[in-house]
């Protein structure tokens, strides 16, 4: 069943209003709401006094209009009576200062007292709602994250290290604590990487980032265990933060959930730009689908202008619906808009919902109501249909953490580098799967692993297996530099991949922002490629068995190889030794996709996004117009338009500004 709905806070509005809200929801085609994820102080107003009556009444009003319920566990915003119990409940930031009450997410994820109170409220909610006919599942907490540097975390970290290394000798060896006289003789001497300690040992810092991530995974698991035991009929998920969030290993966090859900905002007050680059949301959707290699939910889909202190650009007419379809086009099986009605009070007064502050419907509500009517027609065809891709990009949270500790170059950003490559594929209408370094790569023809900095042997072996089976692998600078303890490997770079790449990094240059180096393609098939340049980082390569694809033309390494390609059996490995500019990645994307025989589904003009979902042999085609102009697209086959149910389409179709077409092929493959 496809779920379509909103995030709703009945506790913010008079009870007399609830029925009207539920009616407007039903009229918009909604069949689900998420409730209660910030309502701890309403559900447990005083310690041990639980009150679910108001929530029961809200749920029964909703249920009477055919709306089902996802309940959020409320641990992201604890009540004042709980936080007043002990200063230790509060998270300590990197600079050693403790958070104070007044926002949310202020708790320490390892505090035993916080665990106790979490367990109690979750068990109470689970017990109360286990058999409720309108409740279908759970969202744990809200957007888990934030690293805590408190003394409790310090001792949990020490215990975590003890489990990881077994002995201090081992830890001292792996971290290289002989440097600056850091050899530890007792576990409790090991500090946290507080900013007051200056630049920490990279091994310690990476392990702390791993530990902080594990802390949330464990805190979530504690809640999962309670819910699994008490509510076996319900699903359990969490609302993730897309590609952007970088402090939790999302592959780990997703592992024991039934599916991933996430929060999708494309115009926010923090990024005030007239134009929206749809590639960012596309990458986020693909990442969310990749965490479990399955379809996902959007638990919070933008419903209007966002804003805390300032107000974002208003979503243009059609954008809200377009963005929701974009999520569906990438594998979403549910969309809930955040939020139903714009709050009149609290930090998020300007984070607009589908209804205005005064409770009236808006242009936004009408737009989504139209979508609701469409979903009634098409959602059953869409739900469960899968996205298939023959191209993958490897996302390594460990490498991402390592670059947070040592940036390598002030212009370098792992997520931006990753995105730049993703974008060149996405612009060619290529669907990309985002995978973990040890995921099965056999479904793919092309795998790009950007800056795989921390490279465990198992990951290197996995990539090698892919290449030996005939795949095309692309790696970029700073790959294979670090071992798992975040020490530099004792080998020629790219370390464990040097042999597979058939090339070695002879030396490297780190460039200032104003300097670039022109590249010259030496392969005949790339001779007519537009000029491309090297930026940020230049690996000077010395091929051992690879052929040269491009050379630097400037500086003391003019004429030296910058990009190489190595044939390994039926497979190939490209080493792209620089961060490059957009034309470089566009040229490479065109060439690589062509050489593995991956064709765009449909050739579409810029600003048009095309994706497919499949059910058995039946194809659904999504054509999304992210521009202000009407666009013309030439189809390859014969289709029916599922949204307007018109006569079969063939040849050229027009897509209106910010509009979407959902087409189904009339003759299955
Ligand atoms: C996040 C949260 C929501 C809300 C919105 C808007 O995604 O999950 O609770 O705060 O942002 O700020
Ligand atoms: Zn802590």
Judged by DSSP in three states, 475 sits in strand
Q: What is the mean pLDDT of residues 354-382?
A: 96
Give Cα separations from 409 to 157, 244, 506, 537 (angstroms): 29, 20, 18, 8
Token pair in block for residue 608: 């048009």
Nearest residue to 281 via CA among 299, 295, 251, 301: 301
Atom of ligand 1 nearest to the CA of 351: 6
Residue 427 has pLDDT above 90, yes or no: yes
Token pair in block for residue 51: 């009150």
Q: What is the mean pLDDT of residues 486-493?
A: 98
Residue with tokens 């190489």: 564
The distance of Cα 448 from the centroid of its chain, to the nearest Å, equals 17
For 539, which DSSP code?
E
How many whole angstroms separate alpha carbon 485 and alpha carbon 466?
A: 25
**pLDDT tens-digit readout, 47-61:** 999 999 999 999 999
Under 8 Å between Cβ of 243 and 283: yes
**Least confident stretch, 378-392, 468-482, 549-563, 640-654:** 640-654
How many whole angstroms separate alpha carbon 239 and alpha carbon 514?
A: 40
Q: How many helices, marked H, and strands, marked E, lie in the chain?
A: 17, 26
Label residue 649 by pLDDT band (50, 70, 90): confident
How many whole angstroms separate alpha carbon 210 and alpha carbon 162?
A: 14
Separation of CA 244 and ligand 2 centre (Å): 23
Nearest CA to ligand 1 atom 11: 263
Judged by DSSP in three states, 576 sits in strand
Mind telling me the catalytic residues?
Answer: 143, 300
Query: Which positions ≥6 away from 4 have C-beta within 8 Å?
Result: 29, 30, 31, 32, 334, 335, 336, 371, 372, 375, 379
The distance of Cα 502 from the centroid of its chain, to the nearest Å, equals 33
Residue 207 has pLDDT above 70, yes or no: yes
Residue 352 has pLDDT above 90, yes or no: yes
Count of CB atoms situated within 10 Å of the CB of 487: 18
For 636, which DSSP code?
S
Considering every ligand atom shown, identify the ligand nearest to the alpha carbon of residue 155 and give its number.
2
Q: What is the mean pLDDT of residues 486-513?
A: 98
Nearest CA to ligand 1 atom 6: 351
**pLDDT tens-digit readout, 140-183:** 999 999 999 999 999 999 999 999 999 999 999 999 999 999 99
Instruction: Cis check for the bond before 617: say yes or no (omega within 30 of 0).
Output: no
User: Greater confidence, 647 or 563?
Assistant: 563
Nearest residue to 584 via CA among 550, 614, 608: 550
Residue of 40, 104, 239, 300 to test ligand 1 pocket, by largest number of atoms within 8 Å of CB:
300
Nearest residue to 374 via CA among 412, 325, 336, 447: 325
The distance of Cα 210 from the centroid of its chain, to the nearest Å, equals 18
**pLDDT tens-digit readout, 269-294:** 888 888 999 999 999 999 999 999 99
For residue 136, list its beta bridge partners.
none
Count of CB atoms situated within 10 Å of the CB of 513: 10
**pLDDT tens-digit readout, 104-143:** 999 999 999 999 999 999 999 999 999 999 999 999 999 9
Considering every ligand atom shown, identify the ligand nearest to the alpha carbon of residue 308 and give its number.
1
Instruction: Cis check for the bond before 370: say yes or no (omega within 30 of 0).
Output: no
Label residue 254 by pLDDT band (50, 70, 90): very high
How many whole angstroms separate alpha carbon 341 and alpha carbon 141?
A: 21
pLDDT for the residue numbered 636: 87
How many whole angstroms separate alpha carbon 414 and alpha carbon 299?
A: 27
Atom of ligand 1 nearest to the CA of 76: 9
How many whole angstroms separate alpha carbon 573 and alpha carbon 562?
A: 14
Helix/strand/coil (H/E/C) assignment for every residue in 312-365: CCCCCCCHHHHHHHHHHHCCEEEEEEECCECCCCCCCCCCCCCECCCCCECHHH
Nearest residue to 71 via CA among 281, 251, 299: 299
Beta strand 432-435 pairing with 391-394: parallel
Helix/strand/coil (H/E/C) assignment for every residue in 587-619: HHHHHHHHHCCCCCCCCCCCCEEEEEEEECCEE
Separation of CA 520 and ligand 1 centre (Å): 47
Q: For the stretch 605-626, what's the b/e string if a residue is b when 16 or more beta carbons lie within 10 angstroms of its beta carbon? A: eebbbbbbbeeeeebbbbbbbb
pTM (two decimals): 0.98
For residue 639, list its beta bridge partners.
649, 665
Q: What is the mean pLDDT of residues 62-87?
A: 98
pLDDT for the residue numbered 669: 57
Ligand 1 is surrounded, with C-beta below 6 A, by 142-143, 239, 263, 300, 338, 348, 351
Which residues have CB atoms below 5 A from the ion given as ligand 2? Answer: 108, 110, 148, 150, 152-153
């Amino acid at each position: 069943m496809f779920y379509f709905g909103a995030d709703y806070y009945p506790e913010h509005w008079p009870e007399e209003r609830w029925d009207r809200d539920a009616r407007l929801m039903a009229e918009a085609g909604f069949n689900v709401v998420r409730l209660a994820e910030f309502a701890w102080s309403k559900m447990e107003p005083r310690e041990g006094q639980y009150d679910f009556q108001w929530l029961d009444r809200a749920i029964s009003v909703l249920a009477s209009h055919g709306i089902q319920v996802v309940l959020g566990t409320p641990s992201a915003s604890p009540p004042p009576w709980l936080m007043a119990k002990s200063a230790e409940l509060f998270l300590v930031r990197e600079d050693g200062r403790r958070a104070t009450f007044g926002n949310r997410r202020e708790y320490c994820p390892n505090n035993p007292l916080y665990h106790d109170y979490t367990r109690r409220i979750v068990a109470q909610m689970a017990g109360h709602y286990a058999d409720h006919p309108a409740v279908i599942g759970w969202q744990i907490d809200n957007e888990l994250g934030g690293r805590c540097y408190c003394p409790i975390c310090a001792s949990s970290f020490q215990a975590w290290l003890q489990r990881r290394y077994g002995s201090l000798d081992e830890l001292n060896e792996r971290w290289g604590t002989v440097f600056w006289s850091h050899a530890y003789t007792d576990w409790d001497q090991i500090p946290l990487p507080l900013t007051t300690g200056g630049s920490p040992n990279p091994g310690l810092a990476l392990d702390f980032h791993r530990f902080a991530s594990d802390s949330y995974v464990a805190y979530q698991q504690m809640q999962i265990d309670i819910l699994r035991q008490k509510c076996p009929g319900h699903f359990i998920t969490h609302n993730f933060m897309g590609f952007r969030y970088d402090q939790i290993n999302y592959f780990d966090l997703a592992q024991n959930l039934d599916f991933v859900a996430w929060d999708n905002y494309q115009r926010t007050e923090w990024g005030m730009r007239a134009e929206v680059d749809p590639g960012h949301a596309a990458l986020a959707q693909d990442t969310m689908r990749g965490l479990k290699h399955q379809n996902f939910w959007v638990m919070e889909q933008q419903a209007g202008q966002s804003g805390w202190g300032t107000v974002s650009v208003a979503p243009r007419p059609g954008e809200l619906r377009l963005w929701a379809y974009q999520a569906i086009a990438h594998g979403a099986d549910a969309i809930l808009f955040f939020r139903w009605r714009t709050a009149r009070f609290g930090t998020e007064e300007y984070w607009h919902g589908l209804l205005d502050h005064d409770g009236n419907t808006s242009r936004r509500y009408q737009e989504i109501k139209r979508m609701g009517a469409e979903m009634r027609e098409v959602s059953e065809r869409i739900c469960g249909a899968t996205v298939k891709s023959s191209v993958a990009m490897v996302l390594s949270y460990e490498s991402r953490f390592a670059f947070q500790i040592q940036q390598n170059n002030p212009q370098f950003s792992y997520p931006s580098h990753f995105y730049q490559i993703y974008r060149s594929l996405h612009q060619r209408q290529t669907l990309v799967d985002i995978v973990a370094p040890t995921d099965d790569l056999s479904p793919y023809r092309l795998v790009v692993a950007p800056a795989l900095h921390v490279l465990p042997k198992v990951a290197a072996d996995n990539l090698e297996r892919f290449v030996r089976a005939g795949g095309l692998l692309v790696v970029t600078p700073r790959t294979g530099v670090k071992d798992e303890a975040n020490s530099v490997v004792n080998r020629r770079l790219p370390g464990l991949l040097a042999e597979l790449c058939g090339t070695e990094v002879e030396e490297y240059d780190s460039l200032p922002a104003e300097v670039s180096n022109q590249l010259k393609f030496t392969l005949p098939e790339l001779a007519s490629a537009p000029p491309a340049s090297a930026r940020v980082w230049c690996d000077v390569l010395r091929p051992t068995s690879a052929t040269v694809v491009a050379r630097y033309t400037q500086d003391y390494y003019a004429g030296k190889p910058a990009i190489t390609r190595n044939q390994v059996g039926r497979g190939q490995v490209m080493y792209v030794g620089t961060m490059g500019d957009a034309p470089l990645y566009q040229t490479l994307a065109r060439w690589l996709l062509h050489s593995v025989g991956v064709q765009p589904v449909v050739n579409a003009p810029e600003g048009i996004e095309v994706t497919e979902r499949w059910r058995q042999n039946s194809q659904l085609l999504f054509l999304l117009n992210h521009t202000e102009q009407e666009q013309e697209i030439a189809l390859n086959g014969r289709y029916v338009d599922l949204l307007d149910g018109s006569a079969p389409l063939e040849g050229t179709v027009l897509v209106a500004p910010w509009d979407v077409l959902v087409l189904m092929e009339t003759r299955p493959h």
